[in-house]
Amino acid sequence: MSVTFDARSGIITLDTVATTYQMKLAETGHLLHLYYGRRIPGDDLTALIPRVDVSFAPDPYECRATRTFSLDVQPQEYPAANVGDFRVPALIAESADGVYGDDLRCVSHAVRPGKYALEGLPCADAGEEDCQTLAITLRDAATGLQVELLYGVYEKEDVITRAVKIVNGGDKDIVLHRASSAALDVPFGDWQLIHFQGRHAMERQMERVDLMHGIQSVGSTRGASSHHHNPFVILCGREAGEEQGECYGVMPVYSGSHRTDVELDQTGDVRLVTGIHPDMFRWTLKPGEAFTAPEVILTFTHEGMGALSRRYHRFLREHIIRGKWNHAARPVLLNNWEATYFDFNTGKILAIAEQAAALGADLLVLDDGWFGQRNDDNRALGDWFVNEEKLPGGLDALIKGVNGLGLKFGIWMEPEMVSEDSDLYRAHPDWALTVPGRKPTMGRNQLVLDMSRGDVRDYLYDTIAGLLRKHHIEYVKWDMNRNMTDVYSRALPADRQGELFHRYILGVYDLLERLTTDFPDVLWEGCSGGGGRFDAGMLRYHPQIWLSDDTDAIERLYIQHGSSFGYPVSAMGAHVSACPNHQTGRTVALGTRAVVAMSGTFGYELDPNALTDGEREQVKAQIARFKRWYDVIQNGDYYRLAAPGEGRFAAWQTVSADRGEALVSAVITHAAANLPGIHLRLRGLDPEARYEMDEMAMEGCQAIADAMYGQDAAAERPVYSGAALMYAGVTLPVMGGDYPAAQLHFTRVK
Ligand code: DGJ
């Protein structure tokens, strides 16, 4: 049993294989948090949290005489405002009488086999044998507000998911001003915060900071999870590293505006509250109505950040990403965006496709510019009919040509947007988010469609489904290229406008649910100007998401490194592009570009006709190599061996589940003279087994001296024990030049 309840002590314990999460139902009915950490066998941890009188910490009425029980210092599961806890609240509600706050006391709890579902929101799935659900209902007697705390306990995976359903059980309206998904109180310890910040074309840069007294927040008010702060944070012990140390992972399954607050309080305890961003959020619940806060995926490990990441990778692949393409081999694609931008026609695309097929690619993706008068990015979004001037004979003629070369055909769309200069906007100006009487703020000269509206979603469903039914399209890239401003819906009354940010993303989920259900064979790739909506919510619909608009291989090292803390390789769209790179102007060897892009869903974004014959041979070999190593790359356990920026190289490794195969990749980011080759200790191998290094690819090297673990680099297929590779390590040959790279492939010797 992963969930146990002791009625006498009020102790509720959630056990997974390696962790224990314990709560206590206090005599007062408050639901306290006692512990989340390494597995503990059946102890009652009540005494961990002292009951002392802390000055200026108010007491619930029944504790007024003893004065040793204050919500201001007791760790809690779901703290509400205005009842004695001055730390960050998870819930701020206002009754029709103007009463703020809720005195939440437990009324019931229930344990069910299997996993709860959340209406209208993406969440992790599970079979009955994989998960147990705990539901605890709290209630505020004064207003009738009910809060159902949901816990999904994935015993084998060491994951606990949380979500919240808030019901108006009273007889008057209640307004929610903040309805977070979870609070996690962490009493004791010296914690640091790891978060993933960035900007367009430089997303998810890992930042590790000390906590200060007060509140630190990361989040987005952009209506999308954003390039700027990913909805994923780690709280880690000061001593934590890749291989050791305590860390908590907190990953909201949400793609809209979000916020995570981390407070270090007066007593040194930490509270983390995460969920929908409370700014401009105001949700009215009529009597009997319910509001569901998005799910959060929590995990804890004492084995360092590497273990934490691998747990998320596995969990997302098993319980979030779904459908045919989750585990199926993804196609190697060639996307025409950086090859042609808007300047293409059928002939040009077919010429690209011909080369792509010859090189071994599987899919040709036609990016932006194929529809309406879309000859630049100022117009035509919304006009999802083919531009016959560019593509005479329409999509079918082109698709036939592409399919005839043995390639699948995929297409780009940006369904949530509309250009002012479009037939759609001219017909339905009220479908865009704009404020009456005010000129809208523009982003990429486009407007955002009101996805909270059923008529907008129906129109988009019919349009996209129509295209998919009519043409043989096997892949869709779903883009989203601006953030939300002028957030006002013509379809909502004044007192419901505060719901729009969240209703928008619910609308996106609704449309994606319908489309991905009705077109299960299509491979959907998410995108938002690259990685502007790269989150667990979107991964429920898109098994892969274009990681970043920055295709520079060296910048990508940082983006992929940061993204790898939470997200699996199989989710990260990564392409080899032309040099000098279009975003940075940097030149990196073609081989190195491929080594980096291979740590994602591999593809190309260049004109293969512009390659030399030699380069084409290289590309052929790269695609063949990727396909040969597909399984260990896409499904293997991921190890960060050396972080970019910390030394003069970056390195990472994937190991197959049975530890029979491993691939090590390294890129030197800073050339230096008179240094030995870089040294790496491998991870995750079987120490007892012997591994043959059956392939070694050196890319972009100007000069190579041959030294490899005491053997000649040219030696045929050297064999090492797993122990030697992990404990002694390997020293790579000296690699000179700008950004050389190496890939070492190992296979266990039978
Ligand atoms: C932004 C995407 O990230 C790019 O890959 C490309 O599809 C452009 N949009 C097209 O407008």
| Site to substitute for ligand 1 among 367, 371, 477, 575, most atoms within 8 A of C-beta | 367
Summarised one tens digit per residue, pLDDT across range 506-544 is 999 999 999 999 999 999 999 999 999 999 999 999 999
Determine the atom of ligand 1 nearest the C-alpha atom of 527.
3
Do 340 and 309 belong to one domain? no
Report the pLDDT value the prediction gives residue 676, as an integer from 0 to 100. Answer: 82
246 included as an active-site residue: no
Do 340 and 297 belong to one domain? no
| Site to substitute for ligand 1 among 412, 575, 601, most atoms within 8 A of C-beta | 412
In a domain, 612, yes or no: no
Residue nearest to atom 11 of ligand 1 (CA): 368
3-state SS, residue 479: coil
How many CB atoms within 10 Å of residue 631?
A: 14
CA gap 536, 520 in Å, rounded: 19
Residue nearest to atom 9 of ligand 1 (CA): 529
**pLDDT at position 25 over 60:** yes
Angle of helix 590-597 relative to helix 613-628, nearest 10 degrees?
20
In a domain, 625, yes or no: no
Q: What is the domain range of residue 699?
A: 639-748
| Site to substitute for ligand 1 among 365, 368, 605, most atoms within 8 A of C-beta | 368
Is residue 124 within 8 Å of residue 161, measured between CB atoms?
yes
Do 51 and 199 belong to one domain? yes
Q: How much is the mean pLDDT over the chain?
A: 96
In a domain, 609, yes or no: no
Report the pLDDT value the prediction gives residue 673, as an integer from 0 to 100. Answer: 85
In a domain, 586, yes or no: no
Do 284 and 343 belong to one domain? no
Determine the atom of ligand 1 nearest the C-alpha atom of 377.
11
DSSP category for residue 725? I
> Which pLDDT band holds residue 675 (cuts at 50, 70, 90)?
confident
Do 653 and 542 belong to one domain? no
Do 29 and 113 belong to one domain? yes
Do 367 and 309 belong to one domain? no
Cα 412 to middle of ligand 1, angstroms? 8
Determine the atom of ligand 1 nearest the C-alpha atom of 530.
3
Cα 309 to middle of ligand 1, angstroms? 28
CATH of the domain at 468: 3.20.20.70
**pLDDT at position 352 over 80:** yes
Determine the atom of ligand 1 nearest the C-alpha atom of 477.
7
Report the pLDDT value the prediction gives residue 416, as an integer from 0 to 100. Answer: 98
Average pLDDT over residues 54-78: 97
pTM recorded for the entire structure: 0.98
> Which pLDDT band holds residue 585 (cuts at 50, 70, 90)?
very high
In a domain, 177, yes or no: yes
CATH of the domain at 88: 2.70.98.60
Is residue 233 within 8 Å of residue 193, measured between CB atoms?
yes
CA gap 651, 670 in Å, rounded: 13
Report the pLDDT value the prediction gives residue 710, as an integer from 0 to 100. Answer: 42
| Site to substitute for ligand 1 among 477, 527, 605, most atoms within 8 A of C-beta | 527
Do 376 and 479 belong to one domain? yes
CATH of the domain at 647: 2.60.40.1180
Q: Where are the beta strands (DSSP E) in 592-711?
A: 601-605, 637-642, 649-655, 661-668, 679-680, 690-699, 704-705
Contacts of 474 (CB under 8 A, 6+ apart): 363, 408, 409, 410, 521, 522, 523
Determine the atom of ligand 1 nearest the C-alpha atom of 549.
3
* Single residue among 502, 530, 546 that ends a domain in this structure: 546
What does the DSSP assignment read for 362-417?
A: -EEEE-S-SBTT-SSTTS-TT--SB-TTTSTTHHHHHHHHHHHTT-EEEEEE-TTE
Task: Tell me the one-letter amino acid at 318.
Answer: E
Average pLDDT over residues 292-318: 98
> If phi over 0 gives left and psi between -120 and 50 gives alpha, with beta otherwise, what is residue 729?
left
Measuring from each residue's beta carbon to the nearest atom of ligand 1, which residues come in under 6 Å?
337, 367-368, 377, 412, 479, 481, 527, 529-530, 546, 549
* Single residue among 485, 518, 546 that ends a domain in this structure: 546
Do 294 and 273 belong to one domain? yes
Catalytic residue among 535, 555, 661, 699: 535
3-state SS, residue 98: coil
Cα 480 to middle of ligand 1, angstroms? 8
Residue 454 Cα to chain centre, angstroms? 27
Cα 467 to middle of ligand 1, angstroms? 20
Cα 227 to middle of ligand 1, angstroms? 14
Residue among 460, 454, 500, 459 nearest 480 (CA): 460
Summarised one tens digit per residue, pLDDT across range 312-340 is 999 999 999 999 999 999 999 999 999 99
In a domain, 352, yes or no: yes
Do 427 and 511 belong to one domain? yes
Q: Report the percent of the chain where pLDDT is more than 90.
A: 95
CA gap 368, 549 in Å, rounded: 14
- Tokens coding 403: 């399919």
Average pLDDT over residues 66-80: 97
CA gap 421, 431 in Å, rounded: 14
Summarised one tens digit per residue, pLDDT across range 703-739 is 554 544 444 455 678 999 999 999 999 998 888 889 9
In a domain, 558, yes or no: no
Average pLDDT over residues 476-499: 98
In a domain, 165, yes or no: yes
Cα 202 to middle of ligand 1, angstroms? 15
DSSP category for residue 313? H
Do 655 and 535 belong to one domain? no
Report the pLDDT value the prediction gives residue 711, as an integer from 0 to 100. Answer: 45
Residue among 569, 699, 555, 693 nearest 621 (CA): 699
Report the pLDDT value the prediction gives residue 736, as an integer from 0 to 100. Answer: 87
How many CB atoms within 10 Å of residue 98?
A: 7
Q: How far is CA 717 from CA 247, 256, 454, 685, 695, in A?
A: 39, 50, 61, 18, 7
Cα 338 to middle of ligand 1, angstroms? 9
615 included as an active-site residue: yes
Q: How many domains does the chain have?
A: 3
* Single residue among 546, 566, 594 that ends a domain in this structure: 546
Determine the atom of ligand 1 nearest the C-alpha atom of 367.
7
**pLDDT at position 169 over 50:** yes
Cα 341 to middle of ligand 1, angstroms? 9
Is residue 233 within 8 Å of residue 217, measured between CB atoms?
no
Do 235 and 364 belong to one domain? no
Residue nearest to atom 10 of ligand 1 (CA): 368
Report the pLDDT value the prediction gives residue 82, as an integer from 0 to 100. Answer: 98
Residue 7 buriedness (CB in 10 A; 0-12 / 13-18 / 19+): exposed
Cα 733 to middle of ligand 1, angstroms? 39
The larger pLDDT score, comparing residue 257 to residue 733, is at 257
Catalytic residue among 421, 615, 686, 695: 615
Report the pLDDT value the prediction gives residue 356, as an integer from 0 to 100. Answer: 98
Residue nearest to atom 1 of ligand 1 (CA): 529
CA gap 680, 683 in Å, rounded: 9
**pLDDT at position 176 over 70:** yes
Report the pLDDT value the prediction gives residue 667, as an integer from 0 to 100. Answer: 97
